[in-house]
Amino acid sequence: MNPENNTTATDESIQPPTIDPRHLKRLKIAAVILTLLGVGLFAFFVYSVGPGDLLESITRFGVIGFAGLLVLYFLRIVVRALAWDLSVNSPYKLTLRDTIPAVVIGEAASSMIPLGILVSGTAKALAVRKRIPFVVALSSVATENLFYSLITSLFLIAGAFTLLRWFTIDEDIVVMFDLLIAGIIGLVIFLVLLVVRQWHLASELCEKLYQRGYAQNILGAWRMHIRLFENLIFSFYREHPRRFFPICGLELIYHLIGVTEVYYMLSRISDVAPNVLHSFLLESVSRLVTILFKLIPFVIGVDEAGSKFVGDAVALAAGVGVTLAILRKGRLLFWTFIGLIVALKRGLSLRELASFRPRDDSD
């Protein structure tokens, strides 16, 4: 049996979990409220900067400029896809032909759906499960996300530290950022210990809940799958140590392309020569906002707020930060549309991602 083209019998019983309708309803209500607040923020910043000035900046950026922005983002997709390829456990294997479309689908899910960062991993795994078993695909996505989280955490720490130490910031915000840096450092230490010490926290928690009679209809099937999922991640740590630096390097390149993307936009909309430091800060804060406000589709409003905050802190011209956020939103909408088309061609419906559940083999 060729592991690249076949799934195991075990995989047939493994499906994405069902979301409790009550929890889903609460999530939708929270998403609607936060989205409305985001739309309000977006309208406020457009009004405060001036629709005419924003339109002039976007027009100056031009169709050719936007095409270049789309290409740069596609390069980021390719880099994440390469990192995912390296994160697959042997003897299974994925190629860019498998992972690039899956990453595009995952990005679409991540952008559109509340807490899409959780749905994104499932979407990626579903997109390639004809190539490798679903649980292997899902564990490889989680492994790549661990590397991404590590490098992103270092990127955010560097951005926050630079902003606080090089520019004049309100004292209350300084305290908030200091706490944020401490929290991120603590999270990185925890993740490293989790993998190195091989703490089976998720599966052990599920087993304890199952033994005490909680959610047995779900945990009956999933507690063993979660254990297997954890083992696959930990075995990657033991069996493929030489892949660590290449994967970390790719994740770093992903963020460097992001900084290049901001530099490119500034070069076309700003009257002064772009600055690498400013580009780095704008990208790091944008990444932080994306992580913190994933419940809001397309991070509408809050991305503009974060970009304006950094733009004001580094003394960019009025409206530049908001224009950057709007251009990013246009780029995101384009690739989300492409992701939806790819998903439909592969028989995937983003609305139905949460409707699957594993079959309990004991039934």
Residue 31 or residue 191, greater confidence: 191
- Pairwise CA distance, residues 268 & 57, whole Å: 9
Tell me: pLDDT of 356 over 50. no
* Whole-structure pTM value: 0.81
Given a contact cutoff of 8 angstroms between Cβ atoms, the answer to whether 125 and 144 are in contact is no
52, exposed or middle or buried, with CB in 10 Å at 0-12, 13-18, 19+? exposed
Q: What are phi and psi of 50, to 5 degrees?
A: 110, 115
Task: Give the integer Cα–Cα distance in Å for 46 and 307.
Answer: 13
Helix (H) or strand (E) holding 124: helix 116-127
Q: What pLDDT sits at residue 352?
A: 53
Neighbour-count burial for 171-185, b at 16+ CB within 10 Å, e otherwise: eeeeeebeeebeebe
The residues spanned by each domain of the chain are 17-162+242-355
Q: Return the minimum-mean-pLDDT range out of 123-132, 187-196, 303-312.
A: 303-312
Q: Are 200 and 227 in contact (CB under 8 A)?
A: yes
Whole-angstrom Cα distance, residue 254 to residue 247? 11
Write the pLDDT tens digit of every residue in 325-350: 899 999 999 999 999 899 888 877 65
pLDDT in tens, 81-103: 999 999 998 889 999 999 999 99
Read off the tokens for 178: 């200091």
Structure tokens at 251: 């994740």
Q: Tell me, rounded to whole angstroms, the distance of Cα 310 from its chain centroid.
A: 21
Contact 359, 301 (CB under 8 A): no
Predicted confidence at residue 178, as pLDDT, reads 83
| Amino acid in position 321 | G
What is the Cα–Cα distance from 205 to 329, expressed in whole angstroms? 39
Q: Cα–Cα distances in Å, from 45 out to 57, 59, 232?
A: 15, 18, 46
CB of 142 closer than 8 Å to CB of 113: no
DSSP letter at 275? -
Residue type, 361: D
